Amino acid sequence: MNYSYIIIDDDQESVLKTKAIADSFSELTFVASAHNYVEGLNLILEHTPQLVFLEIDPVDKKSMLSLALINELHRYLKVIPKIIVTTRKKDLAFEAIEYDVTAYMLKPLSRIDFVKSILKLKKADGEEEKILAQSPPEPQEEKPVSFVHHETLSQQKPLILCIKSYGDYRYIDARDICYLQADNNSTDIHLNSGEMVTAFKTLKHFESALSYPFVRIHNSYIVNCNYISRIHTGNAVCYIKNTTTKLPFSKSYKINIDLIISEISNGNYLEI
């Protein structure tokens, strides 16, 4: 998912630094920047971005930048953009949490802060989609009971890939896929059993069809993150569990590697 964003900060140098990091993420699309409360409010109401980077402890107090901007947004908008606070002090973190901000990032900003914030956004959006999908239908939208039951079951079951070829239906549990490898206009699907299955679809097709834990790391590879045992950023390779397989990752997909590393560290994790 992509997020349009606005930067509201009284320090032009900070605006440029925030934009420089944000521009390295394909998920983020810059809209505009503002240097004070009034400009920021007007930009948000005009462009309705999905994301706002907001300074709440400005150098120039005349800019009037603060968390009060969020309250003002509630007067005009039904859907409030996600707010990421960017500031120099920790003092306002508790107050910011009470305003239900998405993230609180301390300056100088770092790339990993952005990685974590994007992961939080994607995770929150994914959970919201699940809730909407599982919500009961509106009274006026009557559906056959059998159809609703089928939807519920499909949400609970693991994803099954059907590789169809000339009347042959091959069913693969997505959890058994270690990685996918491009082979011209076809894709080789490598399973945890050591078996390989060829599908006559491009890797780009699978990239659009599969969501996390499947992540593209190279023009030729999509990896199931659950099968990664090691990531060597110096050699730009990922190791696959219980095999001698090493998958290269390219610079153009380095952000995806950062996301994988961050996501793994968000689990039951101990770094030594």
Candidate ranges 6-10, 92-96, 111-115, 139-143; pick with highest mean pLDDT: 6-10
Tens digit of each residue's pLDDT (9 = 90 or more) over 131-142: 445 555 554 444
Residue pair 85/104 in contact (Cβ under 8 Å)? The answer is: yes
What does the pLDDT look like over 214-270, one tens digit per residue? 999 999 999 999 999 999 999 999 999 999 999 999 988 888 888 888 888 877 888
Cβ contacts of 237-246, under 8 Å, gap ≥ 24: 240/178, 240/179, 241/178, 242/192, 243/178, 243/194, 245/178, 245/179, 245/190
For CATH 3.40.50.2300, the residue range(s) in the chain are: 3-129
Cα distance between residue 256 and residue 217, in whole Å:
6
CA–CA dist 15, 9 (Å, integer): 6
Nearest-CA neighbor of 87 among 65, 72, 115? 65
Spatial neighbors of 263 by CB under 8 A, at least 6 apart, are: 119, 212, 225
Question: Given this structure, which CATH class describes domain 158-265?
Answer: mainly beta
Confidence at 155, pLDDT banded by 50, 70, 90: very low
**Residue 138, C-beta contacts closer than 8 angstroms, at least 6 positions apart:** none
Are 116 and 260 within 8 A, CB to CB? no
Helix (H) or strand (E) holding 185: none
Q: Is the pLDDT of residue 150 over 50?
A: no
Do 193 and 167 meet the contact criterion of CB atoms below 8 Å apart? Answer: no
pLDDT band at 127 (very low <50, low <70, confident <90, very high): low
Q: Which residues touch 32 (CB under 8 Å, ≥6 apart)?
A: 6, 7, 43, 47
Listed in order, the ranges of the chain carrying CATH 2.40.50.1020 are: 158-265
- pLDDT computed for residue 129 by the predictor: 54
Q: How far apart are CA 144 and CA 224, in angstroms?
A: 36
Residue 104: φ, ψ to 5°: -130, 105
Query: What is the pTM for the complete model shown?
Result: 0.52
* CATH number at 3-129: 3.40.50.2300
Angle between helices 37-47 and 68-76 (to 10 degrees): 40
